[in-house]
Amino acid sequence: IKAIRKAIGHQGMIVTPGIRLPHGETHDQKRVGEPAQALADGADYLVIGRALTEHEHPERVLEELGFALGV
């Protein structure tokens, strides 16, 4: 993310897939990242797919996400 942000500056949006909460499963993703780090590195939008949609309690994932981001 940092390299992309450096290359494009703030001229474009960076959409970052593969976002997982700390200690979350990686599923079949080879590269995953945590939300706070992705935003700190320059991501504009986070894609949180299976970590949320396949969780038994998705509302808990949203709570953890808010906690991880300090909101």
Structure confidence at residue 18 (pLDDT): 87
**Which ranges of the chain have pLDDT less than 50?**
none
Tell whether 49 is in a known binding site.
yes
Do the annotations mark residue 29 as ligand-binding? yes
Q: Which of 21, 15, 11 is nearest to 1 (CA)?
A: 15
Is 31 within any annotated ligand binding site? no
| Contact (Cβ atoms closer than 8 angstroms) between residue 45 and residue 16 | yes
The residue range of the domain holding 49 is 2-69
Q: Flag whether 50 is marked binding.
A: yes
* Full-model pTM: 0.79
| Each residue's pLDDT tens digit, 34-51 | 899 999 999 999 998 888
For the chain, how many structural domains are there in total? 1
